[in-house]
Structure 1
Amino acid sequence: MQLFYHPGLTETASQVLFPKDESKHITKVLRKKEGDLLEVTNGEGLLFTVELIQTGNQALAKVIEVKIEAAAPYYLHMAVAPTKMNDRFEWFLEKATEIGVHEITPVICDHSERKVVKLNRFERVLQSAMKQSLHYRMPKLNEPRNLAEFLESVQEENKFIAHCEDHQQRFLLKNKVSPRSRAIVLIGPEGDFSPEEIELALQKGYQPVSLGNSRLRTETAAIAACHTFALANQD
């Protein structure tokens, strides 16, 4: 199944006008013709079955059927420090979308080596991963936030900070996950959170957690957290 992405489509849409890049892909690469059926999502849970009625530079299709994908039984917000190498953070975005994540915020920490983030590239990675994994909901990607500011503004049902300070008590994340709940997980940079950041998070009600005995890189830890929540919410 080839899945296409077209943001802004509503349940009442009767036609889909594809942008030029998608039109070229449909016509020149996939060699689709008038009368062929395509699957399109708006990234918000709707799946459209459409029939091509025009190809070329501006492909046009009429909507044949609309289906609604049920929302996940849980909501996971990952707040992750950008990695020094962009491709590692992009790997996290791709795999998290495949596994299941609902919201992502890059957080800038005291030990962050990368403090400038280009969201346009990250958005394209999310789109590609959503289509590849045949999901119909694309994770929400927020603007980067300073960690202290983020801690002041975000409220979720369950809040966790995964850090590497062995002298502080930590719980295994898998033992703290509540199925069918809303949660946020903080993952720090390569140099971990600073002691001051950990203390501030604890004051804000974040529970200190571990992801296991191994010391994980930022992107690996973030994926481990996503997988922990996904498994806890399997039927």
Structure 2
Amino acid sequence: MELPVFYAKDLLSSQGFYTMDEPTSKYCIQVLRNEKGDNVLLADGKGTRYEAVITDDHRKKCVVQINSHVTMPSPVPTLRIAIAFTKNTSRMEWFLEKAVEIGISEIIPLITQRTEKERLKTERLENILVSAMLQSKQWYLPALAEPQPFEKALTGEQKLIAHCLPDEKKHLLDVMLPGKDTLLFIGPEGDFTPEEITLALEKGCLPVSLGDTRLRTETAGVVGCTLMAAVNR
């Protein structure tokens, strides 16, 4: 039976004991019905995997003793996606969950000329990232950047932009080079403007297609993440 994994953001490798916060304690003790003497795993989101045993099964302040820890290999290469969030919060939350499960290292909310939503509920979104990290048994928490203007996000060595204009472009699988850090740009509902696409190309972005069908923003995001991961399989 696999051991349950809990998030311990502020856990240090030098600690011998750790007290879970109240929500985590309740989930561990009341929901999963763990008790004193049970073994658990902790993840700090920075790559360290801790093996521990419960010494106090308090439902609000569960205490564990750290028995060992190991730093897990970091994801290589770094896969990032810059995407314009839409007004439909549930769809973008779904996208974040799936992006984490696929193995994306960073999500950058884009502010474009047609972006519908620039203010985000950061705490809720970060909780979604944590939940997806734990569910998919990963040890590195993807970064959720502050919303960035499109022109300022155009950095990096291998940059790809998916857009809907009928310009000449190749499928992402035929363009992206494996083993290289990559940043993929996904536009808002209504796509990037022609001016934004021109700017991206001038900054070294390669235009790519994600397939023959027209995709919603969050669907394009998931397809893009999946294809990037596939290139580096």
C-alpha deviation, 1:24, in angstroms: 1.9
Aligned with residue 94 of structure 1, among 97, 100, 104: 97
Q: Any idea what SS the aligned residue of 2:199 has? A: helix
SS at match of 1:148: helix
2:116 matches 1:103? no
**Post-superposition shift, 1:15?**
1.7
Q: Does 1:211 align with 2:222?
A: no
TM-score, normalization by structure 2: 0.94
Match of 2:26, as an amino acid?
K
Alignment of 1:169-208 (within 5 A): 169-208=168-207
Q: Which piece of structure 1 moves more, 189-198 or 31-40?
A: 31-40
Q: CA deviation at 1:139?
A: 0.4
Q: Structure 1: 5+ residue runs without aligned partners?
A: none
Q: Is the CA contact 1:79–1:104 (under 8 Å) kept in the aligned structure 2?
A: yes
What are the residue-to-residue correspondences of 1:1-235 with 2, within 5 Å?
1=2, 2-56=4-58, 57-151=60-154, 155-166=155-166, 168-234=167-233
- Indicate the SS of the match to 1:38: strand
Write the letter of the residue equivalent to 1:114.
K
Sequence identity percentage: 37
Write the distance in 1 (CA, Å) between the matches of 2:7 and 2:96: 17
Given residue 183 of structure 1, which amino acid in structure 2 is its aligned partner? T
Q: 2: distance between equivalents of 1:115 and 1:144?
A: 7
Residue 196 of structure 1 aligns with an amino acid whose one-letter code is E
Letter in 2 for 1:28: Q
Q: Distance in 1 between matches of 2:128 and 2:8?
A: 15
Q: Which amino acid in structure 1 is aligned with residue 163 of structure 2?
A: H
Q: Distance in 1 between matches of 2:8 and 2:95?
A: 23
Deviation at 1:194, TM superposition (A): 0.5
Shift of 1:106: 0.3
- Secondary structure, aligned partner of 1:220: helix
C-alpha distance after superposition, 1:120-158 (max 9, x if no partner): 11101101111111111110001111212333xxx2120
Superposition RMSD on alpha carbons, in Å?
1.3
Distance 2:14 2:172 in 1: 42
TM-score, length-scaled by structure 1: 0.93
DSSP-derived class of the 2:196 partner:
helix
Residues in 1 aligned to 2:146 and 2:222: alpha-carbon distance in whole angstroms: 20
CA distance in 1, matches of 2:13, 2:171: 42
Structure 2 residue runs without a partner (length 5+): none
Count of matched residue positions in the alignment of Structure 1 and Structure 2: 230
SS at match of 1:160: strand
Matched residue SS, 1:196: helix
